Amino acid sequence: MAIPKAQLETWANPGALTTSAAAYASIRNALLKSTSPVADLGLDIYLQGSYANSTNIYGDSDIDVVALYSATFSEDISLLTPAERQINASAGFVTATYTWTNLRDDVLKALRSHYGNSSVTPGKKAIKVTTGNGLKPADVIPAIQFRRYATFPNASEATAHWGIKFFDSSNNPIVNYPKYHRERGEDKNSATRTGGRYKPTIRIFKNFRNYLIDHRLLAEGIASSYHIECALHNVPDYLFIGDYTVTIPAIITHLLTTAFISLRCQNGVTDLIGTAATQWSGNDFTTFIIAAQNGWEDF
């Protein structure tokens, strides 16, 4: 049988926000207080991920916090013409003396000074922080600015996709566009597009993913929350409008019959399917959608 309407409506509800807001405020305080080595860097500190995008569900744990240092940047000039690349090369950009490694080390010092060494652990992609009693733990990502140039007539009139760049524990670069992701998600959720049903639908699919894992119908690690959200952003707006018992199977069918090449990340810049650190493998995408179809029919 299909998933009952009451279950879908329960899954559509957001998780708690109070403890995540308090944890975010705690991280900001740790990084910006006067004794912090990064207090005077002008960091742009903001939430990313499910809590930032209002797609969090009950049981979501860590909040994701970006600590962005924009005075140091990395660039991608692959989209520029040969002439524009020459202009870029002669633009007079000075090699940064404060690198991402310096930033990461100083953010680590600030967090350890505030929370204690045992509460702060460097992870594969982020710094893991236990923020305090009753508060959500946090994944803190020190990042520098990333510019994917689209045009470069001169340094002051260049156009670019603006993102963040950081490195994992194996020194592999990771580039993402969290602010674009958030803005485009809010737009798709608007009254004029999906009538506010986009984000609740994401929460349904995330809870459905957890159900599939709990019932051994899907392996852990196949479908991240980020990838699910990006996949759903590719679904036409009209398919979100209506009763969940109708829209959810229609969305599954749409994703099953959509060519990989047309799928984009919610940020609007990068392809969803691929082998990069922020992309979803084609095999895992297919595995999840087929598991969702089977799980819907045999709930």
What integer pLDDT is reported at residue 15 of this predicted model? 82
d(CA 12, CA 202): 8
Q: Pick from 140, 69, 89: which is nearest to 110 by CA?
A: 140
Chain Cα centroid distance, residue 206:
14
Q: Which residues contact 290 (CB under 8 A, 6 or more apart)?
A: 256
Q: What does each of the 299 residues of the chain score in pLDDT, given as a tens digit?
A: 689 999 999 999 988 777 788 899 999 999 999 999 999 999 999 999 998 899 999 877 789 999 999 999 999 999 999 999 999 998 888 899 999 999 999 999 999 999 999 999 999 999 999 998 778 899 999 999 999 999 999 989 999 999 999 999 999 999 999 999 999 999 999 999 999 999 999 999 999 999 999 999 999 999 999 999 999 999 999 999 999 999 999 999 999 999 998 999 999 999 999 999 899 999 999 999 999 999 999 88
What integer pLDDT is reported at residue 169 of this predicted model? 94
CA atoms within 13 A on the CB side of 23: 26
DSSP-H helix ranges across 35-163:
50-53, 82-89, 100-115
d(CA 33, CA 95): 29
What integer pLDDT is reported at residue 97 of this predicted model? 94
d(CA 146, CA 283): 29
259 in the Ramachandran plot: left (φ > 0), alpha (ψ -120 to 50) or beta?
beta
Q: Which helix (H) or strand (E) holds 6?
A: helix 5-11
Using CA atoms in the order 2, 298, 281, 67, what is the torsion angle rounded to 10 degrees? 60
d(CA 149, CA 195): 34
Q: What backbone phi and psi angles, to 5 degrees, belong to 286?
A: -65, -40
For the entire predicted model, the pTM comes to: 0.92
Residue 153 CB burial class (10 angstroms; 0-12, 13-18, ≥19): exposed
Whether the Cβ atoms of residue 151 and residue 161 lie closer than 8 Å to each other:
no
DSSP-H helix ranges across 189-256:
198-214, 225-233, 244-256
What integer pLDDT is reported at residue 41 of this predicted model? 97
d(CA 281, CA 291): 15
Residue 63 pairs in a beta bridge with: 138
Task: Specify the residue for token string 């809010």.
Answer: 186
Whether the Cβ atoms of residue 36 and residue 110 lie closer than 8 Å to each other:
yes
d(CA 156, CA 117): 43
